[in-house]
C-alpha cells in the first residue's frame, strides 16, 4: 500500500545506529546479538542435556572450544568466499579489516564446520558421544541463529531485493539503499524460520527417536531448505565486489545449501536403524556417581 505521493505507508525502519559508547568503550549491537545468541543456546542445551541424564556443566565446557573454533570458522568462510572485498586490485576494504568481525561477515557454514571440530575434540576428551551432544544442541543452534540475525538488522546488511510489501525494510544510502525504496527484510525471514525450526526440532525430538546425530541432521536439512529460498532474495555481492558470484544462476550459498541438504537426507537414511548405546555420562563421572550412591546403579536413562 502506498500513499498519494507514491511512498509506502508501512515499512520496517532500520536502526539509526548500531554502536553506542560507554565512555570510550564501543558497545556494538552486532556483537551483543551474537553474545545473546550464544548464551541462550548454551542455556537451552544445558537444560536438554541434564534432562537426558548428562552431567551438569558438560555442555558449557564443550561450548568453549566449540564457540572459539566456530567464530574462527565463521570468519574464515566469509573471508574466503568474499576475498575480493579485502584482497586484489578491486578490494574495497584494507586487508587487515578482514579481522574486524564487528563489521559483519560471520558465516553459519564455517561456524558449524569448524565449531563441530571443536565440539568433537571436547567430546573426545570427556569421553562423550558426539552424536548425543549434537542432537542436544541442535535446537539451541537454531534459536541462536534466530537471535543473531538481528545483528544484520543493526548493521543494515544482507537485505533482499526491492519490494512493495508493507513489511519492506528501509535501508539508508550509506548502506547501499535508495531513497523511497524498500527491501526484503531477509534477516527477519531467516530469524522467523530459525525460531520455527527450533520449536520443530524440540517437538520432533519428543515425538520420534532421533538419536546418533539424526536430530542434528534434521536441523541441517531444515535450515538449508529455508536458507535456499531466503538466499535467493538477497542482493549482497557474495564472492564479488559489485555483484554476487553465481553458478548456473544460483548464488554460492544456495549451492552450499543444496549440498548440505542432500547430505543431511543421506545421513538420515543411512543411520535410520542405528540404535547402539550412546555415552552421555563419562566413565569416571559414572563411577563416582555409583560410589556416592553406595554401590547402587545410577539412573541409566541418559545413556541411550
Query: Which residues contribute to the annotated binding site?
Result: 149
Q: Residue 203, Cα to own-chain centre: how many angstroms?
A: 20
Q: Which residue has the cell 586490485?
A: 89
Helical H segments across the chain, by residue range: 29-51, 58-81, 108-126, 130-148, 150-155, 186-207, 214-231, 252-270, 283-292
For residue 250, list its beta bridge partners: 247
For residue 234, list its beta bridge partners: 160
What is each CA distance from 121 to 114, 212, 286, in whole angstroms?
11, 17, 20
97: left (phi over 0), alpha (psi -120 to 50) or beta: alpha
Contact criterion met (CB below 8 Å) for 298 and 49: no
What is each CA distance from 92 to 82, 105, 145, in whole angstroms?
11, 15, 28
Contact criterion met (CB below 8 Å) for 172 and 156: yes
Q: Could you give phi then psi for residue 165, rounded to 5 degrees?
A: -65, 150
For residue 27, list its beta bridge partners: 20
Q: Which of 255, 251, 252, 190 is nearest to 222 (CA)?
A: 190
Amino acid at each position: 500500500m502506498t500513499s498519494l505521493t507514491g511512498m509506502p505507508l508501512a515499512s520496517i525502519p532500520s536502526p539509526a545506529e548500531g554502536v553506542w559508547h560507554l565512555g570510550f568503550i564501543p558497545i556494538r549491537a552486532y556483537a551483543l546479538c551474537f553474545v545473546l545468541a550464544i548464551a541462550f543456546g548454551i542455556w537451552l542445551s544445558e537444560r536438554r542435556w541434564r534432562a537426558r541424564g548428562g552431567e551438569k556443566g558438560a555442555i558449557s565446557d564443550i561450548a568453549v572450544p566449540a564457540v572459539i573454533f566456530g567464530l574462527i570458522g565463521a570468519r574464515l568462510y566469509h573471508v574466503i568466499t568474499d576475498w575480493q572485498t579485502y584482497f586484489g586490485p578491486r578490494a574495497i576494504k584494507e586487508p587487515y579489516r578482514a579481522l574486524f568481525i564487528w563489521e559483519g561477515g560471520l558465516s553459519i557454514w564455517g561456524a558449524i564446520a569448524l565449531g563441530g571440530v571443536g565440539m568433537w575434540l571436547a567430546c573426545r576428551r570427556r569421553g562423550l558421544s558426539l552424536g548425543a551432544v549434537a542432537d542436544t544442541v541442535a535446537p539451541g543452534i537454531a534459536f541462536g541463529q534466530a537471535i543473531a540475525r538481528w545483528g544484520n538488522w543493526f548493521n543494515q546488511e544482507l537485505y533482499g531485493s526491492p519490494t512493495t510489501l508493507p513489511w519492506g525494510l528501509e535501508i539508508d544510502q550509506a548502506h547501499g539503499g535508495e531513497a523511497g525504496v524498500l527491501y526484503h527484510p531477509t534477516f527477519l525471514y531467516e530469524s522467523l524460520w530459525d525460531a520455527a525450526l527450533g520449536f520443530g526440532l524440540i517437538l520432533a525430538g519428543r515425538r520420534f527417536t532421533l538419536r546418533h546425530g539424526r536430530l542434528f541432521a534434521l536441523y541441517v536439512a531444515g535450515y538449508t531448505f529455508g536458507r535456499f529460498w531466503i538466499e535467493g532474495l538477497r542482493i549482497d555481492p557474495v564472492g564479488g565486489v559489485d555483484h554476487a558470484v553465481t553458478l548456473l544462476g544460483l548464488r554460492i550459498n544456495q549451492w552450499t545449501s543444496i549440498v548440505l541438504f542432500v547430505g543431511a537426507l543421506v545421513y538420515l537414511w543411512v543411520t535410520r536403524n542405528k540404535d547402539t548405546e550412546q555415552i552421555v555420562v563419562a566413565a569416571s563421572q559414572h563411577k563416582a556417581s555409583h560410589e556416592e550412591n553406595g554401590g547402587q546403579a545410577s539412573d541409566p536413562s541418559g545413556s541411550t
